């Protein structure tokens, strides 16, 4: 114990020379905790630095360092000619002087959350990117990413010391990546646009968040595919929108099923419906476009995974048929390159694109300029096209291998799955009485990245039970191992 001149003791002030923690830090932490807990009351006079150093057997400099830090943080108050005193502060947990003290379990429920946060309520998928080792239904194979080329482009960028890359971008002018996307998208997806109509984002979910802020007010009505992507659905709900189900039939999302009420926006996945993998034919696309014109509505098209079509040429998106600027197109590089790059883009009318760039500046200052610059050069130098050609060939072989196993070894379990675009095959159970919740739980426990179809339905129950079985992120040997595990999980 240390005794100040007025006779008071500082109980419990001890240090441990063997702890490895610097002495001044131990003194600082102990005294701070004593002040916060109330064991050192406000107004109490502190012992002198000399008395403390002698009692604790440390140098006076060590004690002064601790006391100076406490003084700087407002725990102690020196009075010239009198000494140093404990500042009178409200102790942690002492709300006796407050008339509106929050309960101790403030964060255990939703009481402190906004309506926006409370509406973020989509069901968690059981698929884990970290632990799903085989048959992942939505991930590319990161082992195929050209890391050496990316590293060289990164080195080249930094060796030039291009100062504009180190600053926030000028939000009014198209970036180099937006220029490259405008050129590349015309060839790959048949969309003709100017660079001023391209806006880079942090991915598809970021794009949807931007659009809700730009286009929707709480109470506006959104038509959303059923089944559909639950995280995107939750984004619209959390914004306070009324979300109407737009049933998906054998031709994709069906606008004729929508009521006559005012609908401001419809969200669709036309090239490959998520999760049913249905390609919307030209007739249905024209019906969607006519519906949007007649109802003065906007269509948001997420072109998820459309780069990976393994039979024939890629199917043009809805945006390629749009002549009235009714469609806002969302694309991303998460499936074609790496999920963690977090780079996507939108194609939208020029006036809206300018407002969107301004919104990004206000909300986020900018998207990551260094990553975008590297990706722009990656596209311009032809690396992106070559990478797509390579991965398409590899993923096509993997899908053929998976289909051979499914048709041979799972014929009594699944209806014959069809060759599909994207990263997974839709497998419907022959026995519709199976407990798919239990099956998926067993698969997850055994590191399989498969997902149940019912996850994509708002009610959590699907008209037909099935699962999405992936092939892209696993090589042929891993697919074989994963299918053996899947057999055991099916029982």
In this structure, the answer to whether residues 218 and 251 fall within a common structural domain is yes
In this structure, the answer to whether residues 20 and 72 fall within a common structural domain is yes
Of the pLDDT bands very low, low, confident and very high (cuts 50, 70, 90), residue 461 is: confident
Least-confidence region, from 108-112, 327-331, 473-477: 108-112
Out of 77, 104, 131, pick the residue that ends a domain.
104
Out of 332, 366, 400, pick the residue that ends a domain.
366
Out of 305, 332, 366, pick the residue that ends a domain.
366
Position with higher pLDDT, 365 vs 93: 365
Q: What confidence score (pLDDT) does residue 435 get?
A: 94
Domain for residue 131, yes or no?
Answer: no
Residue pLDDT, tens place only, 375-427:
999 999 999 999 999 999 999 999 999 999 999 999 999 999 888 889 999 99
Q: Give Cα separations from 429 to 398, 445, 453 (angstroms).
A: 22, 20, 11
Q: What is the CATH number of the domain that holds 308?
A: 3.40.640.10
In this structure, the answer to whether residues 350 and 436 fall within a common structural domain is no
In this structure, the answer to whether residues 75 and 9 fall within a common structural domain is yes
In this structure, the answer to whether residues 361 and 404 fall within a common structural domain is no
Domain for residue 380, yes or no?
Answer: no
Domain for residue 337, yes or no?
Answer: yes
In this structure, the answer to whether residues 182 and 269 fall within a common structural domain is yes
Of the pLDDT bands very low, low, confident and very high (cuts 50, 70, 90), residue 91 is: low
In this structure, the answer to whether residues 349 and 437 fall within a common structural domain is no
Q: What confidence score (pLDDT) does residue 102 get?
A: 54
In this structure, the answer to whether residues 314 and 400 fall within a common structural domain is no
Least-confidence region, from 116-120, 356-360, 399-403: 116-120
Domain for residue 121, yes or no?
Answer: no
Position with higher pLDDT, 7 vs 459: 459
In this structure, the answer to whether residues 195 and 307 fall within a common structural domain is yes
In this structure, the answer to whether residues 314 and 401 fall within a common structural domain is no
In this structure, the answer to whether residues 393 and 353 fall within a common structural domain is no
Of the pLDDT bands very low, low, confident and very high (cuts 50, 70, 90), residue 4 is: very low
Q: What confidence score (pLDDT) does residue 388 get?
A: 94
Domain for residue 136, yes or no?
Answer: no
Residue pLDDT, tens place only, 201-254:
999 999 999 999 999 999 999 999 999 999 899 999 999 999 999 999 999 999
In this structure, the answer to whether residues 207 and 315 fall within a common structural domain is yes
Domain for residue 219, yes or no?
Answer: yes
Residue pLDDT, tens place only, 140-196:
999 999 999 999 999 998 887 666 666 667 667 888 999 999 999 998 888 999 999
Q: What is the CATH number of the domain that holds 457?
A: 3.90.1150.10
The most confident of the ranges 9-13, 123-127, 472-476 is 472-476
Domain for residue 347, yes or no?
Answer: yes
- Look at the chain and report how many structural domains it folds into: 3
Q: What is the CATH number of the domain that holds 19?
A: 1.10.10.10
Containing structural domain, residue 409: 386-490
Domain for residue 274, yes or no?
Answer: yes
């Amino acid at each position: 114990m240390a005794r100040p001149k007025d006779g008071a003791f500082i109980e419990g002030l001890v240090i441990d020379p063997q702890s490895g923690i610097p002495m001044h830090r131990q003194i600082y932490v102990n005294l701070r905790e004593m002040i916060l807990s109330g064991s050192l009351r406000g107004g109490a006079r502190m012992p002198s630095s000399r008395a403390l150093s002698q009692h604790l057997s440390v140098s006076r400099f060590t004690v002064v360092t601790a006391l100076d830090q406490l003084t700087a943080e407002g725990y102690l108050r020196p009075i010239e000619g009198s000494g140093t005193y404990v500042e009178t502060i409200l102790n942690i947990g002492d709300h006796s002087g407050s008339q509106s003290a929050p309960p101790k379990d403030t964060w255990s429920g939703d009481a402190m959350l906004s309506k926006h946060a409370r509406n973020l309520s989509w069901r968690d998928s059981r698929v884990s990117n970290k632990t799903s080792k085989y048959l992942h239904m939505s991930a590319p194979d990161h082992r195929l990413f050209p890391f050496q080329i990316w590293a060289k482009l990164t080195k080249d960028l930094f060796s030039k010391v291009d100062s504009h890359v180190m600053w926030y971008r000028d939000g009014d002018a198209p970036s180099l990546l937006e220029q490259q996307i405008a050129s590349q998208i015309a060839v790959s997806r048949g969309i003709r646009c100017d660079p001023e109509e391209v806006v880079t984002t942090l991915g598809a979910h970021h794009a949807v968040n931007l659009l809700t802020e730009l286009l929707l007010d709480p109470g506006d009505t959104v038509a959303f595919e059923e089944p559909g992507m639950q995280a995107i659905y939750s984004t619209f709900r959390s914004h306070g929108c009324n979300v109407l189900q737009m049933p998906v039939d054998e031709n994709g999302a069906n606008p004729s099923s929508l009521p006559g009420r005012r609908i401001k926006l419809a969200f669709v996945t036309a090239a490959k419906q998520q999760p049913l993998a249905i390609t919307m034919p030209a007739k249905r696309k024209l019906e969607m476009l006519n519906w949007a014109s007649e109802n003065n509505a906007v269509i948001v098209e997420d072109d998820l995974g459309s780069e990976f079509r393994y039979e024939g040429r890629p199917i043009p998106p809805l945006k390629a048929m749009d002549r009235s600027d009714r469609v806002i197109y969302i694309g991303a590089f998460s499936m074609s390159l790496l999920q963690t790059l977090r780079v996507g883009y939108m194609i939208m009318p020029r006036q809206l694109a300018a407002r969107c760039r301004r919104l990004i500046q206000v909300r986020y200052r900018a998207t990551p300029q260094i990553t975008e610059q590297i990706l722009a050069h990656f596209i311009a130098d032809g690396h992106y096209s070559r990478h797509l050609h390579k991965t398409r060939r590899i993923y096509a072989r993997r899908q053929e291998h998976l289909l051979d196993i499914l048709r041979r070894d799972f014929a009594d379990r699944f209806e014959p799955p069809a060759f599909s675009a994207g990263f997974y095959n839709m497998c419907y159970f022959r026995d519709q009485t199976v407990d798919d919740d239990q099956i998926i739980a067993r698969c997850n426990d055994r590191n399989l990245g498969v997902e149940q179809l019912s996850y994509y339905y708002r009610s959590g129950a699907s008209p037909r039970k099935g699962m999405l079985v992936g092939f892209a992120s696993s090589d042929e040997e891993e697919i074989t191992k994963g299918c053996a595990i899947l057999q055991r999980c099916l029982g």
